[in-house]
Structure 1
Amino acid sequence: MDLDELDRLWERHPAWRVLRAHNAPLILSFLGRRFIDDNRGAVPLGELVSALDDELFAVHRATPDRYPQDAAAYVDDWSDPKAGLLRRFYPAGSEEVHVEATPALEKAYRWVEGLRSRSFVGTESRLQTLVELLRQIVHGAQADPAERVAELERRRDAIERELADAREGRVAVLDDTALRERYQQFAGTARELLGDFREVEDNFRALDRSAREKIAGWDGGKGALLEELVSSRTDIASSDQGRSFQAFYDFLLSEGRQDELSDLLDAVIGMPQLGADRRVRRVHHDWADAAERTQQTVRGLSEQLRRFLDDQVWVENRRVLDLVRAVEASALAVRDRPPADIGVQVDEPGLPIALVFERPLYDPQPDVVVDSMPAPQAVDEVEFDSLFAQHVIDTARLIGNIRAIVPPRATVTLDDIVALYPVQEGAAEILGYLTLDDEELSIAVAENGPETTIDYVDAAGTPRRVRMPQVTVTRR
């Protein structure tokens, strides 16, 4: 970084400005504790002012003149757009101003947090992580099948040696130092991940703000604007950041992954030699909350597009009505005194003459009788057996089965659902699960993944088996 770039950051970046502020300790201690440590999203402005007022009361008991302004004045300064520490906005369906922390506040807080001296700095676990990342990079980019097979065989041999040692009672256990080192690295990475979510949310919000600015100042056709906005939304979703966020969100929504994380965190909390923070127990829920706030920002962009279409239709209809009223008003204005220069000029010098008797006389036509009733012998007998043999799959019942066993933001396989609610209508019911169309559910078929089998009994009482790709059902 050169001198000019550092000079611009020193003057303009909100994180650097807060470090130069005289009340920086109050900002970082109060806002950092409420928003970053507690991983809180938007809060009402009045609630934040009340909490800061309690904080200042406790400070003034020890040092009365340290922070002379009142709580409302401090919050107004911090939420000013020039300060860049808090973002003020009105949430949908609320008439009260809310505020939330910005990525600049997160960066400043994390930097100051890193200034504290640490009694224990682990290096071995980070070296292990770096080596493992290098292995994933090198072997993940390897396209040669022979090289990939050799690497997999090496891993298999290592696992077999470890299994043999475990069967003979030789188990290598990490000592307390190694455990604390790895826990320290996990806790730091978990906190950094929450900060990354705040920055990703801010990037999506910048896209939403750009879309609103384009909509407000657009004077062209709807098609061109929608094409540009949808293209921008697609670019974000297909970018490295968008794909990485979606992969993380899908990973976090997996029920199996959630159960595994919960079990691992419970085991870590139960280790007395670590002295783990109790907040680590719910860190995966904090990740889910942060990811959900990011998804709400993306949904806000889609809602803005829908409102734009509705508003544009209303404006066009209003324009047509204004034109009709203008024509009516002009006609009424000249009704009594029509303009002399309005008329029709005909180039033909005379008018054509048509005598009355040159027209043909009226010639009545005979009535035509149409008999559309078929003869009795022409009526065919209709077979209704095939009509009554039709089966209609009750999709509402299938959706009810899914909602009964799948909690929100969880994923299960179709064979798990069928195990609890056996198939009653044969193969048509299995196809009914695949064709469910509900905004709350998402059906995914693993085309190249593992296969699964589903057993059922048809209407004739014959056992049947269906072999198909694995199907996963996700409830949003």
Structure 2
Amino acid sequence: MNFTGLQAKYRRIFDDSKAWKLLRADNAPIILSFLASIFAEESEVPFSRARIDLDAELIRLGELGVWETDTSAGVYLNLWIKAGWLREMDDMLSKTEAAEIALRFCKSLDEKANVTTASHLRIVQEAVRELLVAISTNPEERLVLLEEKKAAIQYEIDQLHAGVIVELSAAEQAERIREIYQLASVLPGDFRRVEDEIRMLDQSLRVQIIEADTTRGDVLQSVMEQETVLENTDAGRAFEGFFQLLCEQNRSMEFRDQLRTVLNQPAADHLTPPQKHFLTQLMRELTRESDRVFKIRRRTEEGLRNYIESGWARENLAVDRLLSRLERTAVALRERSLNPRCLTRLSLPVGPVQINSPEKMRLRTPDEKLDTSGIREKKNSDKPSFEMLNILDTVRIRHVAEKARSALARHGPMTIGEIAAIHPLTAGLEELVAFLRVAKAVGAASMDRQEKIELRDKQGHFMRASIPCFLLSAELFPENPDNLNI
């Protein structure tokens, strides 16, 4: 790429990158220091606590003459949320990917690059060797590569049997453990990227629903396709890889124990206290980040479902079409040089407009006496009623998976529509989405066609949906339903 092309590329990044905007903000040092301090121990903090802490800092900075402002801390926090540096959900604040990138960049300027070229070269060599074994289609080449790897491992085993123990020097230990920290420090940023991509997916689907007059089945198919794309991104693969590690209890405990053992070795003295603390809390932090991603996914799915079922999308589409007609009519009037104030025969499908003055409002006269003769005192119960439990009842995906597996074990391989013919869907789109998630989780084969399903919601309303056709069988399900990634 020539100079002009690179200039255009960096100009676009300069204008669009939220991380770059944070770094060049007028009070960037103060903003970054506040973000680093407030999120030093936790990945999420209450909005009220952040406002109180920022208020205290603003007062202190005003007394020192560093930053004199009349703007309140709550306004600043909302501005930073709008700028894309903070994210608020359920009155809890967290950093965005842009803030993570800016803080990591500043940290890299302060920390010396102690990792030598030899350490980087070793990692690259090991990655190239493993990739060659994985992508080679020639059995002989794979055997040669694996034999070389086997010979190297056998040589180390023979050395140990002979009593020869090769120890790393202090410099090598320092560079190895610093390399571990460098690799681990970027993991939280991957989860921030997954959050941003989930939110972008939500926005793109809502725009797609409004712009295209699609059916609910088409929307469901779009959700499944977009989530497949999300899983194949770098951040999505990092999240799925960590989730697999988290699900395998033996590997998770082994990694946690190995990390604890490494940090108890003298090599850990080459890390700074913040770096050592970060690695100590690594698994706990990643677990919290994983739970947060699942929470955002669940909320996005619920919001999309409510958006589809409520009919808001079609109402927005009707409003957009009406506005489009008005715009075309206005353009036609201008092109014909007509006075916009003249009378026309244009008729719009709107209801009558009623304008009332507050003076016409009349207060209702209260009843002179409240009749309480038919009221009886009733003791509160500590057990929920059936009506309450029925309202709180939601679709449990594990129960759906067990029901699907039971039907497949009795009747053989079937599609979701055939399973629904045996076990009718009575919980609406939520239950249908649960069946689709089960099909994706077990790796059901796609039939490259669609099938129509009739279902009813909890109120008994009849619906018909068109969904991708998947072929399921009982052999695809694991013995333990908890092992399903749903």
**Same-fold call, TM > 0.5?**
yes
1:113 CA displacement: 1.4
Q: Deviations over 1:375-420 (max 9, x none)?
A: xxxxxxxxxxxxxxxxxxxxxxxxxxxxxxxxxxxxxxxxxxxxxx
Distance 2:116 2:242 in 1: 27
SS at match of 2:184: helix
1:71 CA displacement: 2.2
SS at match of 1:251: helix
1:198 CA displacement: 0.7
1:264 CA displacement: 1.1
2:67 equivalent to 1:66: yes
SS at match of 1:289: helix
1:114 CA displacement: 1.3
Distance 1:11 1:209 in 2: 22
SS at match of 2:87: strand
Amino acid at match of 1:18: L
Distance 2:111 2:304 in 1: 50
Q: How does 1:293-332 map to 2 (within 5 A)?
A: 293-312=292-311
1:182 CA displacement: 1.1
Maintained 8 Å contact 2:88/2:94 = yes
**2:108 — aligned with what?**
114
Q: Deviations over 1:163-190 (max 9, x none)?
A: 1211221000112211111111111111
Amino acid at match of 1:290: E
**2:482 — aligned with what?**
474
Q: Deviations over 1:191-211 (max 9, x none)?
A: 111112211221111101222
Match of 1:207 among 197, 201, 204: 201
Amino acid at match of 2:105: W
User: What RMSD in Å do the two structures reach over aligned CA positions?
Assistant: 3.8
Distance 2:234 2:258 in 1: 29
Moved over 6 A (4+): none
Match of 1:27 among 28, 31, 40: 31
1:262 CA displacement: 1.3
Q: How does 1:36-47 map to 2 (within 5 A)?
A: 37-38=40-41, 40-41=43-44, 43-47=45-49
**2:85 — aligned with what?**
85
TM value normalised by structure 1: 0.60
Aligned-pair identity (%): 28
2:135 equivalent to 1:133: no
Amino acid at match of 1:34: I
Q: How does 1:87-106 map to 2 (within 5 A)?
A: 87-89=87-89, 91=90, 97-106=91-100
**1:266 — aligned with what?**
260
1:28 CA displacement: 0.7
Maintained 8 Å contact 1:269/1:278 = no
Q: How does 1:84-233 map to 2 (within 5 A)?
A: 84-89=84-89, 91=90, 97-118=91-112, 120-215=114-209, 220-233=214-227
SS at match of 1:115: helix
Maintained 8 Å contact 1:212/1:304 = no
Maintained 8 Å contact 2:191/2:235 = no
Distance 2:186 2:232 in 1: 24
SS at match of 1:18: helix
SS at match of 2:168: coil
2:14 equivalent to 1:10: yes
Maintained 8 Å contact 1:215/1:308 = no
Distance 2:213 2:144 in 1: 62
Distance 2:214 2:137 in 1: 49
| Bigger helix share | 2
SS at match of 1:260: helix
SS at match of 1:170: coil
1:119 CA displacement: 7.3
Which consecutive residues of structure 1, in runs of 5 or more, have no partner in the other structure? 92-96, 317-427, 433-438, 447-468
Structure with the greater alpha carbon radius of gyration: 1
Distance 1:57 1:264 in 2: 46
Between the two proteins, the alignment pairs up a number of residues equal to 329
Distance 1:470 1:226 in 2: 26
1:117 CA displacement: 4.9
Amino acid at match of 2:93: V
Distance 1:158 1:223 in 2: 55
1:2 CA displacement: 1.5
Distance 1:445 1:229, change over 3 A: closer
Distance 1:202 1:30, change over 3 A: same
Distance 1:151 1:473 in 2: 38
Distance 2:166 2:106 in 1: 38
Amino acid at match of 2:65: P
**1:334 — aligned with what?**
none
SS at match of 2:110: coil
Larger displacement relative to structure 2 (125-134 or 10-19): 10-19
Amino acid at match of 2:47: L
Maintained 8 Å contact 1:218/1:225 = no
